[in-house]
Structure 1
Amino acid sequence: MDTRPHTPQEAPSLDAYLGKLNPIPLNGRYPDQKRLADWAAGAFDWLYQGDPLAEDAALALRQSGGRGNVADRIQQLATQGDPACAALLTDMHDIPDWVDFDLMRRGGAMAQRHFPMLVLALTYGCMPLTFAHPDAAEVFASTGRLEANIARRLNESGTLFFGVCNSDALAPGKHMWEACVQVRLVHAIVRMSLIERGWNVAERGVPISQLATAAGPAFFGTHLLGCLRRVGARITEEEAEGHCMIWRYTTRLLGVPQELLGNTQAEQDEIDLNMSSLFFAPDDTARVIMAALIRELAVQQPTARIPAFLQLALFRRMLGDEMANAYGIPESHKGERLLGGLDVLLSGYGRLQGLNPLAGLLRRRGQQIIERFGTEGLVSLDVAGTRH
């Protein structure tokens, strides 16, 4: 199967696309402009590529009917001779040479130990980035995934974001590997549904493109680490590399080709910086979604326990002023003062990580909380692409 991108003749040039986008570098970090231009020229075509392996498997699932565990159904169809399902499983079982499960365990243990900070970093620092690009915001708006039910969206996201902290569960056949199969198929169904409903592929690229999905390590690896450190997390270089590898491998499991990922962390760092420089440009739709997110976090449990003005300060701390302003997130001097007090508590929690017995206890406690998420929060294939 041809999984290379095919850019429509009527598609805009890279310069025209970026000129219309007017992106904001995340956290004010700028890469070398020559290297950025070279990378962007090679990566741009992937804006027009979906995930043919998952799309064909999703169609096979739809034709077969039935319900139950998605990975089991894919395996059953593959065993029965379905070529699309067999091809998807072959791709999902292909573990890149750079994957190191021992290193990922160290990164996952770090995240588990810092569970309170992880919740803050994911909620206030990473979730907004999932609709920072105008096309991503349009996907949210078209499916009603965020505005319609923020609690469900948070639960779905948490299932994957927290679950991959147990990196052993990403091994083929394990439960987070199966979760990645399901998320990959959901993305395929949403993509096909939006295209069927008239999505302008030539102008915007395909929805949930390979290039968009390839931002995962930049969002949840590099940027998340920065967010954790902003609230007092103590992270070694080895733990940081292990955490980033978790998200590089998770992104590969979600269908992104190796061409868009690094073979080493140094290569991935450069890709992440390029990604962070080019594709964040909140538009009016993103600002509507952000307003809905702020509104709902203030009333939904458990975040309703956090004062609304403190939540505004957390958004601005995690995103940086330029990105927060682009989203229309207001400043809150009262929130900033309260965040200063929270910093003291979180810094104290971070210092506890240096005490070996306590560090182990905190990791086990965090692991227990994370495991409660299970897989029930994932969106089902039955409602993918709908406004439910």
Structure 2
Amino acid sequence: MNGTIEQVRARVADQKTRQPELYGDIDFTVTPERFTQDPADSIAPRTVKGAEPTAEHFDLVRAYTLLGDRVADAYAGLMPQHGFRGLIAMLTKACDEGLEAVPDAPPELVAFIRNMEQVPDWVDMDLVREGARLDRNAAANLSPFAIRGAFVATFMNKYAALPMALTGTLGHETAARRVNETASFFTTTLLPDALERHGAGFKAAAMVRLMHSMVRFNALRRPGAWDSKVYGVPIPQVDQMPAGLIPIFLLSYKLLARGRTTFTPAERARVELSRYRCYLLGLPEDLLADTPVGVVQTMTARNQTLRRGFDDETCGALVRATLAAYLPPDRSWRNRLFDTVERGFAKVFFLRQFMGGDVGAAERMGVRITAGDRALFLLVAAIVTSRMAAYDLALKIPGLRGLVDRDLVAQLRRHLVRYGHAEFTTDAAQYRPTTGGQRETALPKGDGAARPGQGADGGVTPFGAKVGEARR
């Protein structure tokens, strides 16, 4: 950790000075309700032996719980003058053609782009490129089936899920767009040279970053839309960690369980890809560890301080909308068949990873698992595992590696066509105010077997609700 806690707190407090119209009413000396100092009341009460968070980890997480994105927030703050479409148009042009192509570019846009252009000393771009190459296999063969289930993981805690619910993402059509946008972003970043300055991944990261800041702007500016004493700031830095680091956290978790404390060269490349991708999204180095112990420490500190809470009105509605959404671009027979297969896989994936296998709890949320869903899950898992193994083998054969990589890139481009054009926008007209007294739903008890994807006690998902002691 290179930044001192005093420096981070200073950046948090400076938000009031830099953007009083957004942060002026937030008392940053008050700890929001979402932050708990009692691990027993958090989403992950236990730690992994040998990777226990330190006091400094907890202090940093507490500070970053109140930090938005200073450069992107400043640019989003120009919406009253330029409108959100105007901001998107200028950002798009700056990404595609450079700042010099934007007439009278606002200083806030210049600062935003310059911030993203600066590759930090702690990033190894050669490793980033290698990590992207290595990740193409899973993205081509597994991601189309797993993305919906992974997206649901972000909805399993009411404190972290509220911004998504607030933006009106409760309908099936809107939920489908968000899932496809998420898939599009991660897929785009794996294309050759995508994360270079004028690459498609760089541009996608800038658009996602602006969208997050637009959510903050609209949530904090609309009367009654956001309660900072309960929720802190919308989409704080610590809530962007799970989406960007889920695979790395699960990998680190498995390695530590096996007694390993270092990454192999291939694993290290994948880690570096995730770190740089998160950096482009605005995350600081403090939250982007590069060792298995450091990754687990940081994520555990976040999970041990996020108060558990699952309510049906926010979390349940988001889960149901996401699992029910039709993701393909049209209703041709091929796409309808894919939807049936992918949805069945996603439901069982959700049941296993985030509900501890408790069918009753899933049904109380409106997620009904059929025998057909289970059969589809096993079928897809067998096919995907075999395909990925075949590609892994081919990628190791001299003379085939380049050909196979080009084939994977072609598959990713076809997936992008199916995901559709990602707009990465948020409509303030759809925002709804926060409400109190939401009904909480009982979640399943842990089965006692710790495994990747759950907490050390086997009954805690790393990014979701505590699956054992939630109240009815």
Is the contact made by 2:51 and 2:294 (CA closer than 8 Å) also made in structure 1?
A: no
User: Which residue of 290, 300, 320 corresponds with 2:319?
Assistant: 290
CA RMSD of aligned residues (A): 3.8
Describe the shift of the 1:14–1:59 C-alpha distance in structure 2 as closer, same or farther (beyond 3 A).
closer
CA distance in 1: counterparts of 2:421 and 2:37, whole angstroms: 36
Kindly provide the CA deviation profile for residues 194-238 of structure 1, in whole angstroms up to 9, marking residues without a partner as x: 1122301122111111221233433254348999xxxxxxxx943
Residue aligning to 1:11? 31
Give the aligned partner of residue 260 of structure 2: none
The residue identity in structure 2 corresponding to 1:304 is D
- Percent identity between the two aligned chains: 21
Higher relative contact order (CA 8 A, sep 6+): 1
Pairwise CA distance, 1:239: 3.1
In the TM superposition, residue 152 of structure 1 has moved relative to its aligned partner by: 1.4
Check conservation: 2:67, 2:233, Cα contact below 8 A.
yes
Q: Deviations over 1:176-195 (max 9, x none)?
A: 11111111111111111011
Mapped partners of 1:341, 1:159: distance in 2: 25
Alignment of 1:174 onto 2:199: yes
- 8 Å CA contact 1:218–1:273 kept in 2: the answer is no
Shift of 1:19: 6.8
One-letter amino acid of the structure 2 residue matched with residue 367 of structure 1: V
Is 1:270 paired with 2:270? no
Compute the TM-score of the two structures, normalised by the length of structure 1. Answer: 0.80
CA contact (8 A) 1:48 1:205 kept: yes
Mapped to 2, the partners of 1:212 and 1:53 lie a distance apart of 18
The structure having more radius of gyration, on CA atoms, is 2
Q: Identify the range of structure 1 (44-53 vs 293-302) with the bigger mean alpha-carbon deviation.
A: 293-302
Cα drift, residue 118 of structure 1:
2.4
SS in structure 1 of the partner of residue 233 of structure 2:
coil
Give yes or no for contact 2:169–2:318 (8 Å, CA) kept in 1.
Answer: no
Equivalent in the alignment of 1:136: 160
Q: 2:411 maps to what in 1? A: 369
1:39 match: secondary structure: helix
- For 1:239, the equivalent position in structure 2 comes to 266
Would you say the 8 A contact 1:121–1:224 is kept in 2? Answer: no
Q: Is the 8 A contact 1:159 1:378 kept in 2?
A: yes
Pick which of 311-320 and 362-371 moved more. 311-320
Q: Does 1:190 align with 2:215?
A: yes
Q: Which moved more, 1:51-60 or 1:322-331?
A: 322-331
2:378 to 340, 345, 367: 340
Residue correspondences, number: 376
Question: TM-score scaled to structure 2, two decimals?
Answer: 0.67
TM-superposed CA distance for 1:167, in Å, is 6.0
User: 1:21, 1:281 within 8 Å by CA — same for their partners in 2?
Assistant: no
Structure 2 SS opposite 1:214: helix
Match of 1:354 in 2: 393
Using a 3 Å threshold, how does the CA distance of structure 1 residues 64 and 217 change in structure 2: closer, same or farther?
closer
How does 1:143-162 map onto structure 2 within 5 Å? 143-149=167-173, 150-162=175-187
Does the 8 A contact of 1:78 with 1:86 survive in 2? no
Which residue of structure 2 lines up, in the alignment, with residue 104 of structure 1?
Answer: 128
Single out whichever of 101-110 and 243-252 deviates more from structure 2: 101-110
Q: Provide the C-alpha distance between the structure 2 equivalents of 1:20 and 1:266, rounded to a whole number of angstroms.
A: 22
Q: Assess if the C-alpha contact under 8 Å between 2:248 and 2:295 holds in 1.
A: no
Q: The residue matched to 1:255 in structure 2 has which SS?
A: coil
Whole-angstrom distance in 2 between the partners of 1:172 and 1:93: 6
Task: Pick the aligned partner of 1:44 from 62, 86, 99.
Answer: 62
- Contact 1:132-1:286 within 8 A present in 2 as well: yes
The alignment partner of 2:194 has SS state of helix
Larger deviation: 240-249 or 195-204? 240-249
Distance 1:263 1:112, change over 3 A: closer
The answer on 1:87 being equivalent to 2:111 is yes
| Mapped partners of 2:80, 2:100: distance in 1 | 14
